[in-house]
Structure 1
């Protein structure tokens, strides 16, 4: 990443009124999966980070609707957030503790890589070490029993660890920290709040939007 850019990470939760214009003027906009943030959360999409295992991945790759959607057409990179090897190693344990998640570890990374190659864009696999580091960091916030961190938070951790330069302003929108029961959302909220308190990222809301520089 170039120094001094505004990087918007836009989850699929609620975004503040009037956020669309601020998001679309960012230098880099990252969205997730089916990009439900499009509309109220702006339209610019540079990177789509996907949950590349289990049913969400199968739904995106099958049928063609996701592949032909406007944000996917616009994105220049697709990131597979989950490590196939790490999830394969989880399969036996989940079979005992969560037998209903029998397809949770099915890995579709190759499908996203193939799609990216066929459409002339870059595919990137987030390293397993990112999730492992995130899980160690989340332990400080005493999470309830969980299966995996959310894909959105893995992407946030990856950007902070592997992609952002010291001058970048990392801004989150659409992160409500709620959803699937087996993500540690309460701990994830506290983790993000701690990052914000340390100045490593910011949440987009009406009180801070005016002091963000306009992107290129």
Structure 2
């Protein structure tokens, strides 16, 4: 890849009409888990970032459908967003505070690594530092009580810290900042908004999709 890339991070939330052409024109596209964003959110998929602990991970590895998912088959890389050691350290705390999450910290990183190796894909585990940096940043935004940041937020932190090069644009789509009750979504929205304001991220929204179209992501500020 050359300089001045567009990196699209595509969550599994709703996307406005016209977003597909913008995402498919990006140089690097990251999707999550079962890639529900495909369709209205385009088809191109270079990286699938997975929640590699607990029930979501077990469902992806155990049922067979995830492994044959068209987007997963297109991807050249699999990322695991949760650090195994950090989640093992979290287990005693959750046992006391959230006993219903008894399997939340069960780690399936080895299963995703084996799948990547068997299918010729690159494999990457997002380091614990990414979550630690997000936890520290969220303190500024009244995050309140939560279990862990969302996979999307961790991936954003990893891309900005280690994958974004000078001149690259990082575009978000499908981020509704809503879902599981123990992710700090309201605080994450505020944090992302500050990153957008600072110029580290851009959001694909209805105005961009409807009025500017695909050339938007390659236009220079």
Common fold, TM-score beyond 0.5? yes
| Distance (whole Å) between structure 2 residues aligned to residue 124 and residue 105 of structure 1 | 19
The total of aligned residue pairs comes to 214
* TM alignment of 1:1-216, pairs within 5 A: 2-209=2-209, 210=212, 211-213=216-218
TM norm structure 1:
0.97
Which string of whole-angstrom CA distances, capped at 9 and with x for unpartnered residues, describes residues 55-104 of structure 1? 00000001210000100100000000000000000000100000000000
| Distance (whole Å) between structure 2 residues aligned to residue 49 and residue 207 of structure 1 | 28
SS at 1:207 equivalent: helix
TM norm structure 2:
0.95
Superposed CA RMSD = 1.1
| Distance (whole Å) between structure 1 residues aligned to residue 102 and residue 86 of structure 2 | 16
| Distance (whole Å) between structure 2 residues aligned to residue 174 and residue 103 of structure 1 | 28
Q: Which runs of 5+ in 1 are unaligned?
A: none
Higher helix share: 2
Contact 2:26 2:217 survives alignment (8 Å): no
Q: Which runs of 5+ in 2 are unaligned?
A: none
| Distance (whole Å) between structure 2 residues aligned to residue 146 and residue 54 of structure 1 | 16
| Distance (whole Å) between structure 2 residues aligned to residue 63 and residue 8 of structure 1 | 28
